[in-house]
Structure formats: C-alpha cells, structure tokens
Amino acid sequence: MARIDALLNFLANPVSRGLAAAPADPHSNLALGLLTMTLRFSTSRISSALIALTLGMTLHAEAFGQETTIRKNLAERLPNLPKIDEISKTPMPGLYEVRVNGADILYTDAEGNYLIQGMLIDTRAKVNLTEERVEKLTAVPFDQLPFKDAFTIVKGNGKRKLAVFEDPNCGYCKKFERELAKIDNVTVHVFLYPILSKDSGDKSNAIWCAKDKAKTFTNWMVKDIDPPKATCDTAAVDRNVEFGKKNRITGTPTLFFVDGSRVPGAIPGDKLEKMLAEAK
C-alpha cells in the first residue's frame, strides 16, 4: 500500500524526481490522470481482496478451533462414543452435527457440553433435515448395485428402472408388490433380502433356485402360492444380506431409483409412478 502511494506521488510530482517542471501539457495531464485513476482503482481492489482473504482465514480458524474443542470435550467426557467422522454446523445457530459410524447423526452445542440424539426438523420448510442428511450419506449410485445377485421383472417397454430389496415374509413388501402391479413400462430388479426369520431365508433360496424366478416370486408375493422347494447355489442371497448390512438397508421393502435416491417402506402406486417419472 505504501509503495503504491509513493508511486502515485512520484508520478504526480516531477520536481520530486529531480526533473524540471515543464509547461502544462493538456494531453500529458490527461494521460497522467487516467494512470492515477487506474492505480487508485487497483489499490481499492487489492484492499478488498486482502480484507476478504483475512476474513476467510479468520472464519476458517474459528471453525477449526470450534471443531477441536468439540472433539476434545466429547472424547474426554464420553470415552465410549464412537470415533467422530465429521463435525459441521447446522442451519440452527449454535447447533453442530456430529457424524459417527459413517452415517449416524448426533447434535451438540459449540462446547460439546450437551449431546442430542434425534431429528432436526425445519418447521418453515417442513423438512426433516436429519433424514435428508442420512439419505444423502447412505445414497448408493444405481449403477453400483450388484445386479448379478438380482433377477428382473419387465413390465411393458421396461424403459424406467427400479431396484427393490424385499423379504418374502414381509407384509409391507407384499403390499408394495400389489401396488407395483398397477405400474407399467418399468424394469424391476428384485434383490432377495431375508432378514426377518429363518423361513425368510428358506423362501428366498427357493425363489432364487426356481426355474422362473420372477414368476415364482410374484406368485408368492401377490397370490400366496408357496414357492416349490429347490436347491442350487444361493451365495447371491447371502451377498445381498451382506450388501444390505454394509449400506444400512435396515428394513424392507427398500427402493432405489436411477437418480440414486432411496425410499424405505411401501409406497402407494401413484407416488411410485410420480417418482419413476421424476427420477433421471
């Protein structure tokens, strides 16, 4: 800054440079004025940039200091608390999100004096912020699902895509399948996911080993026709269970759409139709 001001004085006062002052030349004065204005404008821009940089560094340091304080206090006071993956501010002033176990969300104050387990809801927007955050953290790209361990049911032209994890003994899954029967032009990738009982595993194995998996599955889920006993390599069913545990699929049915969104639970046909139309 001082150097720029000195340069301005140097340019504006030829005598100070050991030069004789020439008679005033209007063209020279105009050029000098433009140069002076340009330098002053540059000085202003540099000052603004420095202020913004200083402010950004200050805010970053404060956020880092706050995170350090929270981590330290929670670790000392709650030694059994799982390792903290991330700490971040929430839209609620003074409230911080504490993420553990990959996608478990807790909340605390700026000092780590209190720990809250529950849902954070934006009452103005009517949005469950906790649920929205967990969905984002547990999102699985559609093309990364293990389709080799699923079978497909094609309806109509099959242009739209849907993947669903289902337990054969799940009442909500049966309800969903009856709703799904109303939907056309969709390819459904069915992942057998027996998590309710041993019989769920037996039925899943029988369906997987059936000559026509899709027909056997639909007969059982919609018409209550028992799948005939059959044996084969059922490692795919076991892999589905492992995949579900790893990706926090905690209930059935769980639906995955091509945009990566996940919906737990049975949904009515009209809502399913809308989501299929919106998923891109």
Look at residue 138 in the predicted model and tell me its pLDDT. Answer: 85
Identify the residue whose tokens are 């969300």.
105
Q: What whole-number distance in Å separates Cα of residue 239 and Cα of residue 279? A: 27
99: left (phi over 0), alpha (psi -120 to 50) or beta: beta
Does residue 75 surpass a pLDDT of 70?
Answer: yes
Sequence ranges of the domains in the chain: 1-13+28-44, 70-137, 142-278
Instruction: Annotate 74-107 with DSSP letters as a single string.
Output: HHHH-TTSPPEEEEEE-SSTT-EEEEETTTEEEE
* Buried b or exposed e, range 161-172, using 16+ CB within 10 angstroms: bbbbbbbbbbeb
**Distance (Å, rounded) from C-alpha 104 to C-alpha 115?**
13
pLDDT at 7 over 80: no
Residue 47 has what pLDDT?
61
For the ranges 11-15, 109-113, 228-232, 260-264, the lowest mean pLDDT is seen at: 11-15
Domain 142-278 is in which class? alpha beta
Lowest mean pLDDT across 103-107, 131-135, 225-229, 272-276: 131-135
pLDDT, average across residues 108-117: 97
- Topology match between the domains 70-137 and 142-278: no
Query: What pLDDT, on the 0 to 100 scale, is given for residue 18?
Result: 39
Q: What is the chain's length?
A: 280
pLDDT band at 280 (very low <50, low <70, confident <90, very high): confident
Is the separation of the CB atoms in 190 and 164 below 8 Å?
yes
Per-residue pLDDT tens over the stretch 77-109: 999 999 999 999 999 999 999 999 989 999 999
pLDDT, mean of residues 157-163 = 97
pLDDT value for 81: 96
| Cβ-contact 166, 265 below 8 angstroms | no
Across the range 219-245, mean pLDDT stands at 97
CATH code linked to domain 70-137: 3.10.450.70
When mean pLDDT is compared across 45-59, 67-81, 88-102, 262-276, the lowest value belongs to 45-59
Q: Is the pTM of this model over 0.85?
A: no
